[in-house]
């Protein structure tokens, strides 16, 4: 029996944790009745810290390194135990190893849409989701407030709570930034930074550092996305008249390929012409002087390529362009006079119609204004 006691006395306990998981935040070192041999070796690896808990009280926190557990490096625990004279019997203490590495690729999302006011679309419902990363920053606070007596504390035990905190806060941050919904996708980095700053203190209160927040996507209602698509399409089209002509040609082509043959082609042609007319009428066509539609209420076609065309100033507004035939009719009706200001491509500035050689003939049969009485 004495030999066995001697051998046991020469053994040195090793207190360490080799983590073979990827989701453990804290692990309680298992020892029978929590007894640790005085003079045992404590091994704390990089990416870990060791927290000693005695009778529910935080005693010591050890950073990476190798330690011999004596009263010299356990001053707080020694004080709690009353080891004033190098007491060397086994002592009871709970040792928690906390992982301080980064835990990345954790997912978050808004629990419901955030209501935003937008100058273009009014009140809009927006959602968001992304990734975040954390690590244990204050092991003592983390063990006391979250781990408790859990022998293995994993991400699954806190991830739902952290995900909820981020999802709720972004519903506050998105409206506060005042970014138009059209620009939200381009501001995801700014959103992530603002969100991290907003949550830093709340996470640190749990002993956790919020290392990063990524906003990966912004979700908008289907009707808003369709409106954005239409706006982009209209900007890409540019020339609506050319677009109408293209659509008309496409309708004729599709009708010609219809199994209905000639009848289908005729129907398609009629539909294409009607659609083109509707679009041109919606554009306002070419307007007569004073903003009135051309004669008969129909839209005036554009000038023939190569023909001379002039713009006319009417009541301070630009009208036209008009070819010589249209201008002759206006001169005959008196709506175009020698004093009317006109302009065409190549002229440096607006000039009176009577001073433009190309238009002088229009007023040959029109008497000049009656001179004022003497």
Q: What does the pLDDT look like over 132-162, one tens digit per residue?
A: 999 999 999 999 999 988 999 999 999 999 9
Tell me the pTM: 0.56
Q: Given this model, what pLDDT does residue 263 score? A: 45
Distance CA 333, CA 355 (A): 19
pLDDT at residue 246 is higher than 90: no
pLDDT at residue 265 is higher than 60: no
Q: Given this model, what pLDDT does residue 297 score? A: 44
For 224, the token pair is 């808003």
**314 compared with 62, residue with greater pLDDT:** 62
Supply angle C-alpha 32, 34, 40, rounded to 5: 95
Most confident listed range (24-38, 68-82, 138-152): 138-152
Distance CA 228, CA 184 (A): 13
Q: Given this model, what pLDDT does residue 58 score? A: 85
pLDDT at residue 337 is higher than 90: no
pLDDT at residue 43 is higher than 80: yes
Q: Given this model, what pLDDT does residue 108 score? A: 93
Q: Please provide the distance, in angstroms rounded to a whole number, between the alpha carbons at the two ends of the chain.
A: 148
The CATH architecture to which 103-136+154-224 belongs is 2-Layer Sandwich (3.30)
Mean pLDDT of 320-328: 80
pLDDT at residue 130 is higher than 90: yes
Q: Are 85 and 124 in contact (CB under 8 A)?
A: no
| Residue whose entry in the numeric block shows the structure tokens 């992530």 | 192
Residue 113 is inside which H or E element, if any? none
**165 compared with 351, residue with greater pLDDT:** 165
DSSP code, position 50: E
Exposed e or buried b per residue across 45-67, where buried means at least 16 C-beta atoms within 10 angstroms of its C-beta: beebbbbbbbeeebbbbbeeeeb
Structure confidence at residue 84 as a pLDDT band (50, 70, 90): low
**157 compared with 69, residue with greater pLDDT:** 157
Q: Given this model, what pLDDT does residue 11 score? A: 52
- Helix, strand, coil share of the chain (percent; to 5): 40, 25, 30
CATH topology for 308-374?
Answer: Dna Ligase; domain 1 (3.30.1490)
Give the start-to-end residue ranges of the domains of the chain: 11-99, 103-136+154-224, 236-282, 308-374
Residue 15 is inside which H or E element, if any? strand 14-15
Q: Please, which residues have CB within 8 angstroms of residue 353's CB and are 6 or more apart in sequence? A: 312, 327, 331, 336, 337, 338, 339, 340, 341, 342, 359, 362, 363
133: helix, coil or strand?
strand
Q: Given this model, what pLDDT does residue 286 score? A: 45
Distance CA 79, CA 90 (A): 15
pLDDT at residue 6 is higher than 50: no
Residue 292 is inside which H or E element, if any? none
Residues for the chain: how many in total?
A: 374
Structure confidence at residue 245 as a pLDDT band (50, 70, 90): low
**315 compared with 90, residue with greater pLDDT:** 315
**5 compared with 172, residue with greater pLDDT:** 172
Q: How far is CA 13 from CA 44, 76, 151, 351, in A?
A: 14, 21, 20, 105
Q: Are 129 and 216 in contact (CB under 8 A)?
A: yes
Q: Residue 205: what are its φ and ψ, rounded to 5°? A: -65, -20
Mean pLDDT of 313-317: 81
Q: Given this model, what pLDDT does residue 345 score? A: 79
Q: Which of 138, 144, 141 is nearest to 209 (CA)?
A: 138
């Amino acid at each position: 029996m004495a030999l066995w006691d001697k051998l046991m006395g020469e053994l040195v306990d090793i207190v360490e944790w080799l983590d073979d998981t990827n989701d453990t935040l804290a692990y309680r070192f298992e020892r029978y009745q929590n007894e640790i041999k005085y003079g045992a070796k404590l091994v704390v690896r990089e990416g870990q810290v060791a927290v000693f808990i005695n009778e529910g009280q935080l005693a010591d926190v050890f950073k990476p390194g190798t330690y011999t557990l004596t009263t010299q490096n356990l001053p707080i625990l020694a004080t709690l135990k009353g080891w004033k004279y190098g007491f060397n019997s086994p002592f009871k203490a709970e040792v928690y190893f906390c992982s301080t590495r980064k835990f990345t690729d954790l997912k978050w999302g808004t629990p419901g849409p955030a209501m935003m006011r937008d100058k273009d679309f009014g009140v809009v419902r927006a959602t968001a989701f992304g990734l975040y990363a954390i690590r244990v920053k204050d092991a003592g606070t983390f063990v006391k407030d979250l781990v408790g007596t859990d022998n293995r504390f994993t991400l699954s035990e806190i991830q739902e709570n952290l995900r909820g905190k981020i999802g709720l806060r972004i519903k506050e941050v998105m409206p506060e930034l005042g970014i138009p919904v059209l620009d939200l996708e381009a501001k995801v980095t700014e959103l992530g930074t603002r969100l991290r700053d907003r949550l830093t203190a709340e996470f640190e209160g749990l002993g956790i550092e919020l290392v990063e927040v990524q906003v990966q996507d912004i979700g908008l209602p289907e009707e808003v996305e369709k409106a954005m698509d239409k706006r982009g399409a209209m900007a890409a089209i540019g020339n609506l008249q050319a677009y109408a002509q293209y659509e008309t040609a496409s309708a004729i082509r599709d009708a010609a390929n219809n199994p209905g043959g000639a009848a289908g082609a005729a129907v398609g042609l009629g539909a294409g012409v009607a659609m083109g007319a509707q679009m041109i009428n919606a554009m306002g066509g070419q307007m007569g002087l004073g903003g009135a539609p051309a004669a008969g209420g129909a839209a005036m076609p554009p000038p023939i390529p190569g023909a001379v065309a002039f713009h006319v100033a009417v009541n301070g507004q630009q009208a036209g362009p008009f070819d010589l035939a249209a201008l002759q009719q206006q001169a005959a009706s008196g709506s175009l006079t020698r004093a009317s200001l006109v302009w065409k491509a190549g002229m440096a500035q607006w000039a009176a119609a009577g001073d433009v050689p190309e238009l002088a003939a229009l007023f040959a049969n029109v008497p000049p204004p009656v001179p004022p009485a003497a």
